[in-house]
Structure 1
């Protein structure tokens, strides 16, 4: 059975214009032509149309639909997984917009009308900054660029080993990490992990969680005798919730400054609820003087490049003041860990990873910045970069 464009339109409920559009895009080709030149379609054409409409409903673009219809290389499941990630990003974007509108609405009632517009601009800017951070950490490529510079540490005890000593994990503990990233902490301390741990890893980025799952699988393969259990949850820390509690340790490593200040009290209250009475909450943060040599160098040549670290509103030196209303702050310790970097490319990649604008600017003036880095190197051919990172250890407030 063959159909003309008009007959196919009546049979499928589409317009002839829509069918011709799909034909022009090359995703619905005729099975033949009538003597008068009319395009002809068959049952397979109807099946193709059904696939097009299904994919269109799921939010795929015409170009993506064309690739999926024609391609035999990429499985549908893989494409659906990618689309799921895109749709979740859109969902999270809408949720952030709703939060921004709600916050602006509540604040606007407390301010004069002229101030409300300035307030609305601040809230929108804050939301955009959050989305910039999310984009930066959607995959671990930028994170890896940042981490690679730390291979040139002068610390007596490597950062992750130092951190492992501080959090004091013991056999049988239940642990929650908020903002786990690509699970680099667990990868670096896997050999030392005690047995029978139940480790819950959360992150806002699905891309990071996928990497974390690979790391966890590798750890479990290497150390089956440890009987480790990993649990993964995609969670937004700005409206944090968790289905289970009773944690011995809750960790938030280098992530608190990525959350709006107004949302952090809610996060702290939830952490306190999830902790056991004798549990410990730890968070790692940077200090005021972190990578100051690199900041000054970049600002001297390219003042338009802004480091996110310069806008952080919680630092190692200020964290106690913010946390003391929710926890007993037991200690604040800084890790002695400066850098001597002999490779200008590593420094270049580190700076360029901070934003798309930074990457564009530096790549356009690559040799200038590489030479600027070389000029900062000492007689041994190393660039000295001071690091200020540390950990805050907290317990629950006594009732």
Structure 2
């Protein structure tokens, strides 16, 4: 395995066959302190009106399109891809109100099954840190983009997860922090990787804390992460976690957790020749 390959890929691929764990993670945003949901913020970051043919990589259950069915018009074509057939099943159900023509494909992001320069836009939201090879994936994305197309991608700042993993490690030290899964493509290193493949990069941030006084909901949220959910946890882990969370909530009124997402609007994809010349 080379340095830019992700050792956590197999775990995460298995994890996302279970749609309910993903939904548990998103559900916490109903307790957000920020006035807008992250999906509202995400919708505003990209010029969808300028993209007739869109590729949504790692579409999951298609929550963006479910929330905003009027975002695309009849002239749009939307290609939704995911490794998980279960995610695609839910994506199909969640996009029934879309006016755009829809296509659903199981496809690995590291080797896309499309011809060169096919798309006006590619979406890769909360995804690229799961790639087996980030550089290869970005090369594939730029390959299928038209010359004046754009990529919309998001990730997290790894430090924003610290309070969760301090709590988890106090119970089960063998569980690795989520920062290890984020490490291939986190807010700390994503810009340098994206600039190798795009000439223009615009960055925006979304931050929020959460007002959730329910330790059971926090436990569901924490146990939905792949580095927790996929391990054979010791007997009583969840109950011990709830006990720890109760103490923190008694002290702070909620878990003092703040997430930070970063969005990158990447334009002017470098051609393969220019990319190779820059190496």
User: Normalized against structure 2, the TM-score is what?
Assistant: 0.86
Match of 1:168 among 47, 66, 69: 47
**Bigger shift: residues 186-195 or 150-159:** 186-195
The residue aligned with 2:33 is: 154
Partner of 1:334: 205
Larger proportion of strand: 2
Q: 1:194 to 1:292 in 2, by over 3 A?
A: farther
SS of 2:69's partner is helix
Unaligned runs of 5+ in 1: 1-99, 104-118, 221-226
- Residues 36-51 of structure 1 mapped to structure 2, 5 A cutoff: none
Question: Counterpart in 1 of 2:15?
Answer: 136
Alpha-carbon deviation of 1:256?
Answer: 0.5
Give SS of 1:239's match: coil
Partner of 1:305: 175
Residue-pair matches, total: 268
1:269 Cα deviation (Å)?
2.0
C-alpha root-mean-square deviation of aligned residues, in Å?
A: 2.6
Residues 206 and 260, structure 2, Cα contact 8 Å, conserved in 1:
yes
Q: What does residue 193 of structure 2 align with?
A: 322
Matches for 1:336-355 after TM superposition, within 5 Å: 336-354=207-225, 355=228
Change (3 A) 1:270 1:310: closer
Q: CA–CA distance in 1 between the matches of 2:104 and 2:230?
A: 33
**Separation in structure 2 between the aligned mates of residue 215 and residue 235 of structure 1, nearest angstrom:** 19
SS state of the match for residue 176, structure 2? coil
1:275 corresponds to: 145
Instruction: Give the SS at the match of 1:334.
Output: strand
Q: CA deviation at 1:356?
A: 4.2
Unaligned runs of 5+ in 2: 275-279
Kindly name which structure, 1 or 2, has the bigger radius of gyration based on alpha carbons. 1
How far off its partner does 1:340 sit? 2.3
Distance 2:250 2:72 in 1: 39
Residue-by-residue CA offset, 1:304-325 (whole Å, 9 max, x unaligned) = 2224433322211211111111
How many angstroms apart in 2 are the aligned matches of 1:298 and 1:379? 18
The answer to whether the 8 A contact 1:331-1:392 is kept is yes
Q: 1:300 to 1:379 in 2, by over 3 A?
A: closer
Q: Deviations over 1:146-188 (max 9, x none)?
A: 1112221112221111111101211762111111011111112
Structure with greater helix percent: 1
1:96 counterpart residue number:
none
Is 2:178 the partner of 1:287? no
Structure 1 runs of 4+ aligned residues shifted over 6 Å read: none
Aligned residues of 1:172 and 1:198 also touching (Cα < 8 A): no
**Structure 2 equivalent of residue 213 of structure 1:** 92
Kept in 1: contact 2:55–2:78 (CA 8 A):
yes
Structure 2 residue 144 is the aligned partner of structure 1 residue 265: no
**What secondary structure is seen at the aligned counterpart in 1 of 2:18?**
coil
TM-score calculated relative to the size of structure 1: 0.62
- Looking at both structures, which has the greater relative contact order when contacts are Cα pairs under 8 Å and sequence separation is at least 6? 2
* SS of corresponding position for 1:271: helix
Q: 1:143 to 1:359 in 2, by over 3 A?
A: farther
Q: Could you tell me how far 1:366 is from its partner in structure 2?
A: 3.4
- Is 1:320–1:329's contact at 8 Å kept on the other side of the alignment? no
Cα distance, 1:358–1:145 mapped onto 2, change above 3 Å: farther
SS at match of 1:384: coil
8 Å CA contact 1:172, 1:195 repeated in 2: no
Task: Identify the residue that residue 373 of structure 1 maps to in structure 2.
Answer: 245
2:277 is aligned to: none
Q: Closer, same or farther in 2 for the Cα pair 1:206/1:171, shift >3 Å?
A: same
C-alpha distance in 2, partners of 1:241/1:192?
Answer: 26
Q: C-alpha separation between the residues in 2 aligned to 1:156 and 1:196?
A: 32
Shift of residue 195, structure 1, vs aligned partner:
4.5
Question: Displacement, 1:270?
Answer: 2.2
